[in-house]
Amino acid sequence: MLYNATTFILLFALVIFATLIHENNQLPRRNKSIFYTLTAVLAVVIISEWAGVQLSGNPIANGALLCAAKFADYTLTPTVAILIAANILSDRQLKLALIPIVLNVALQIVSLPFGLTFYLDGGFYYHHGPLYVLYLALVAVSLGIFVAALLSFGSKRAHKNRLSLILITFFVITGTLLQAIDSQMRVTNLTLILGTALLLVHYTEFLQQDTSSALVETSSENALHQRIITSFSESFIAALFIDLPTEKLVIVSATPKVRSCLNHKGPIPQQLRSLVTTLVSENYQEQMLHFMNFETLAQRMKAHSNISFEFTSKEGLWRRASFNIVDEDGNGQPDTLLLTFTDIQEEKLYAAELRAISVTDALTGLLNQRAYFQNLLALSESEVPDNLAIVIMDVNDLKHTNDTLGHEAGDLLLAGAGSCVKAAFESLGHSYRLGGDEFAAILQCTHEEYEQAAHQLKQRCAAFNKGPITHVSLAIGVAFFSDEPEMSLDQLSKRADLAMYEDKRRYYESLGRDRRRS
């Protein structure tokens, strides 16, 4: 009688549980369906176990009813754990979790005629068969999936909920093991029902937490949205949402000029083409149309979270167009894009200024050593002009000036040398300060043109008079590519360097002084 009463109470509890699910408006439709299925399966398992107990030793229908009851019990019991876990598993994880269930169903079907998991003796009592251990193993796998899902679910939630989830897990496992150890201790169904009810309580609480978090996140996202728009206020031109599946374009914000060129009823490719012809200078329109190609956009965005293209506007100002992924579909394909147009004129000017600073010598205003080697490299990678000449120069008497007049006078001497070199060679090419007292020039000229410029350089150096510096003296070496066409530019530069040192040697010999001490 006690067992019958317990079975009735369990079934009545399932009715209450189903009613609670029906009245719960927070549960998503998917989870309601799973809980309904779980309730039905639990009811069948409870009835099957009760029938097994009642029919054991009873020859009704020659044991067929008992076999049917035990078959349903053995087939569905492992399913309960998976159905509980299904509430917190993704669709992909659930497909994998169903593998032990399918294997168990196959095992029971194959075992039924041969009594492999259970069998009836002559007195119509059922016993465990030789493959009962395999059945227990599949039950254990199902419980393992349930435990892993529950613990993973708890780890993503507030720390205060983890202990209770661990206790629920231990409770369900204990009840299942007790009945596996002693079949007379029929407590598995009780623990499964209580565990499911407790999980429903937790799941509902977690849904409330998610709703609260979503409200907070939405508020934060709106504030962030506003800050982004505010930060763009000085450079912002337009922002457009593009929904790829529906091919819809929505203006978030835009200047009147952008709004006026958009036909909201036209297809996206037509609207993008209108933007290009309105905003982009003719020099960049073809490249911009390729960048905005709607047919290849999704494929190009698949490998990048954002892509951008810089162009000049009809007014000759620099602009940047950027596509950014806002959302993706379940397969990782771009779904919603944000197209922005920004003013980068100041950015370009600042970048140009930084580039100029990076290749300019601060003391003389000439290009620096980095620019010299960059230009040599660029020339070497193309066809070298026949009239190319490399000039290497070195300031004489810099050490003597620093020792006798001070380093400020030495800097003045270097600045004076730089001004003379620039004035003499600026019509023929670029001049550089390579560092210390060494200068260079890369020219395109004939021998005669060079001689005229070199003569002018010497005159300017002799006439220089500023502060304590009454003149500038330079040692000069030059090498012409037309004289050494088989040489690389690096070798040509070294040839000019050797000629400069020879000129410096002659200068100090004429004064009767040691160059290394001067």
* Tens of pLDDT, residues 342-362: 888 888 888 777 777 888 898
In contact, 244 and 300? CB cutoff 8 Å: no
Residue 447 pLDDT? 95
Per-residue model confidence (pLDDT) at position 217? 47
Locate 201 and state its tokens: 């309580």
Question: b/e per residue, 74-97, with b = 16+ CB within 10 A?
Answer: bbbbbbbbbbbbbbbbeeebbeeb
Tokens standing for 218? Answer: 């939405």
- Per-residue pLDDT reduced to its tens digit, 422-477: 999 999 999 999 999 999 999 999 999 999 999 999 999 999 999 899 999 999 99
Q: By the 8 A CB rule, do 366 and 432 touch?
A: yes
| Cα(502)–Cα(518) distance, integer angstroms | 16
**Separation of alpha carbons 14 and 36, rounded Å:** 10
In eight-state DSSP terms, residue 384 is P
133-142, 221-230, 427-436 — most confident range: 427-436
pLDDT value at position 169?
Answer: 65
Rounded Cα distance, 336 and 132, in Å: 54
pLDDT confidence of residue 482 = 93
- pLDDT at residue 214 greater than cutoff 50: no
What six digits make up the tokens of 94? 């659930």
E-strand spans in 344-473? 388-395, 429-435, 438-444
Which secondary structure element, helix H or strand E, spans residue 312, and what is its range? strand 306-312
What whole-number percentage of the chain has pLDDT above 70? 81
Most confident of 6-15, 245-254, 437-446: 437-446
Mean pLDDT estimate for the chain: 82
Tell me: the pLDDT tens digits for 40-69? 888 888 888 788 778 888 787 678 888 888
Least confident of 67-71, 170-174, 273-277: 170-174
Contact 355, 412 (CB under 8 A): no
Of 18-22, 96-100, 450-454, least confident by mean pLDDT is 18-22
Residue 216 reports pLDDT greater than 50: no
* Of the listed ranges 219-233, 333-347, 355-369, the one predicted with least confidence: 219-233
pLDDT tens by residue, 286-309 = 999 999 888 888 888 877 788 999
- Per-residue model confidence (pLDDT) at position 249: 82
How open is the CA angle 440-441-445, to the nearest 5 degrees? 150
Count of Cβ atoms closer than 10 Å to residue 119 Cβ: 19
Residue 242, helix vs strand vs coil: strand
| CA atoms of 43 and 195, how far apart (whole Å) | 15
Q: What are φ and ψ of residue 265, in 5° steps? A: -95, -10
Give the model's confidence band at 235: pLDDT under 50 very low, under 70 low, under 90 confident, else very high.
Answer: low
The pLDDT of residue 172: 66
- Tokens 């009735």 sit on residue: 8
For residue 324, pLDDT over 70 is answered with yes
Look up residue 360 and give its DSSP letter.
B
- Which DSSP category does 307 fall into? E
Q: Is the pLDDT of residue 511 over 90?
A: no
Q: Residue 224 — pLDDT band, cuts 50, 70, 90?
A: very low
What is the 8-class DSSP label of residue 336? E
Of residues 156, 175, 189, the one with CA closest to residue 73: 189
Q: For residue 228, what pLDDT is reported?
A: 46
Closest C-alpha to 85, from 24, 144, 32: 144
| Sequence-distant (≥ 6) Cβ neighbours of residue 423 within 8 angstroms | 456, 460
Cβ pair 188, 179 in contact under 8 A: yes
Is the predicted pLDDT of residue 153 greater than 70, yes or no? Answer: no
**Strand extents, DSSP E, 313-360:** 318-328, 334-343
> What amino acid occupies position 231?
S
Sheet with 306-312: list strands edge to edge: 248-254, 236-243, 334-343, 318-328, 306-312
Instruction: Considering only residues 59 and 516, tell me which one the structure prediction assigns the higher pLDDT.
Output: 59
* 143 compared with 106, residue with greater pLDDT: 106
| 297 in Cβ contact with 337 (< 8 Å) | yes
pLDDT of residue 431: 96
pLDDT at 368: 93
- According to the model, what pLDDT value does residue 18 have? 81
Tell me what pLDDT residue 274 has. 85
- Crossing angle of helices 268-279 and 294-302, in 10° steps, is 90
| pLDDT bucket at 28, cuts 50 / 70 / 90 | confident
More confident residue, 373 or 234: 373
